[in-house]
A and B are shown apart, each in its own frame.
Chain A
Amino acid sequence: MKKLSRLYMALVFIFLYAPIVVMILISFNAGESTAHMTGFSLRWYQQMARDENTLNALKNTIVLSALSAVITTVLGTLASVGISRMRSRRLQRVVRNVTNLPMMNPDIVTGISLMLLFVFTAQMLGRDSALGFGSLLIAHITFSLPYVIMSVLPKINQLDRNVPEAAMDLGCTPLQSFFKVELPFISPGIITGMIMAFTLSFDDFVISNFTSGASYETLTIHIYSMIKKSVKPNIYALSTLIFIVVMALILAYNLLNDRGREKR
């Protein structure tokens, strides 16, 4: 039985990692083909490091994801505090359900619905195009919000309501009690939410595809337009680098978590 389950696990992992292994191998290809290895070289990595469009798209993506993550975290944390204190359960449920819509709806519907809003607004204002950095930022904040609320709200509900009240009895103003007592307690949830918002935004393609204009190209949009023309191993080189960075981040995050757990 044990052997059988080992074999089963191995098969699933082969399935999940086969395309990634292929990607990494071919990023070192000496030839131009993405189907056959003809030798080992670093030429695609060198070429990528010189390609301004790719570097620019990478910079754009980092700026967009970071900004979207920060704004979403502030907005989402405030919203969680507000939602947790709503007196009407019904209102609470309505707000949460509406917030979750972008999470429940297919990405393509969220994408086109925002696109229609932007296009219509641009027509009303008599502008050529409303699609660009602003529309992307709005879209990214909108689809990340439910994830931030999802990780912050449970933390707030876990907090014993007597604790901030005790702080106020001891002379804190409500604002002081929020920053000194509540915020430190819910900060793990806030950090998880922020990391989630950043990665979701970094990785998003579908919604960006509909809400980005020609003026601001993110990495995934850049990859999509490259794939439309012709695929060379340089895209694989780029993805391999991203994969390594992501892997390092996830491992670091888990190690930190493990440490924290052992300490406790």
Chain B
Amino acid sequence: MRRRGNIAAYPHIVWSVLFIIAPLLFVLYYTFTDGAGDPTLENIQRIGTSNYLLIFTNSLCMALIATVICLVIAYPLAYIFSRMEEKTQRIMMVLIMLPLWMNFLITTYSWMTLLEDTGIINTLLGLIGIDGVHMINTPGAVIVGMVFCFLPYMIMPIYSVMAGIDPKIVEAAKDLGCSDRDVLLRVIMPMSLSGVISGITMVFVPSISTFYISQKLGGGTFQLIGDTIESYFTGNAINFHFGAALSMVLMFMILISMGIMNRFGDEREERGLLK
């Protein structure tokens, strides 16, 4: 029986080797070869030039800002949701997830309509006497687009951890003399940390690799890493080898960031247990 069970996983293992591992090896292969197929380090060296370093720093900063904003918005919201009646909670989560089913190509375009100089937000602001706030084609607009696209991914994991906290624990803390503030700071916050960490990963990874949002809302005034990679694969200046090198560096950046995050999470959890 056991033996038979193992066979069931074989098609999947073959599939993973062919279509998950092999493609990543091709990224490696293209990174370290040139157009003629000869080995080279030129692609990696070219990333070290100031032009590309700037693109990487820009992307990293934008992704960090978007992630922090998502966290600041999502945390109180998840807390509010987790204290509602169970049925209301479920409705709220459906409402949070519904915008995710809207294609982001379209919603990003709608944001253009909203943020334009003569757009809806400026028209509304004009009515209350504030005029001419320039928003479109600025880094701020790109951040708005990112936060919109990825906010639900921050709310969901934090909410599900908070909703899973046993109310008895909160009661016990109160019985033992904790004020509401103490309950939040010393019980709910440490216990919801794992949700925060998965939320951060779920927002940071797509933010740092995003393309299109920055093209549309940033108006091409600055380039992010995702746009740059895309341009080498589908644009006019196709260069698979350099594009592969950029993706490799991006992958390593994400791996390192996640490593730091997870280590931070583990330490906190261990300390929490020791207490």
Contacts and interface: CB of A to CB of B under 8 A. Distances in A.
Nearest to A254: B94
Interface stretch (A39-47, A49-57, A96-104, A183-191): A96-104
Interface stretch (B9-17, B157-165, B171-179, B185-193): B9-17
B22 A117 contact: yes
A109 B77 contact: no
A179 interface: no
A258 B209 CA distance: 38
B139 to A, nearest CB: 18
Interface in B116-130: 116, 118-120
A52 to B, nearest CB: 21
B250 interface: yes
B240 A119 contact: yes
Contacts of B7: 82
A98 to B, nearest CB: 5
Given A231-B109, A243-B102, A247-B101, 8 more contacts: A12-B151, A20-B107, A22-B110, A79-B11, A85-B1, A105-B251, A110-B23, A246-B98
A173 to B, nearest CB: 10
Instruction: Say which size band chain A's interface belongs to.
Output: 35 or more
Contact of B110 (A20, A174, A199): A20
A108 B211 contact: yes
B230 A108 contact: yes
A15 B148 contact: yes
Contacts of B95: 13
Nearest to A257: B90
A23 B111 CA distance: 10
A98 B23 CA distance: 12
Interface in A1-20: 5, 8-9, 12-13, 15-20
A210 interface: yes
A112 interface: yes
Contacts of B229: 108, 112
Contact of A224 (B24, B105, B243, B254): B105
B32 interface: no
Contacts of A116: 23, 26-27, 29-30, 240, 244
A209 interface: yes
A104 B261 CA distance: 14
Most buried by A among B103, B107, B151: B103
A18 B114 contact: yes
List the 10 shortest-distance A-B pairs measured between CB atoms, nearest first.
A82-B9, A85-B5, A106-B209, A79-B12, A19-B110, A113-B23, A82-B8, A116-B26, A117-B23, A78-B8
B251 A75 contact: no
Nearest to B105: A223
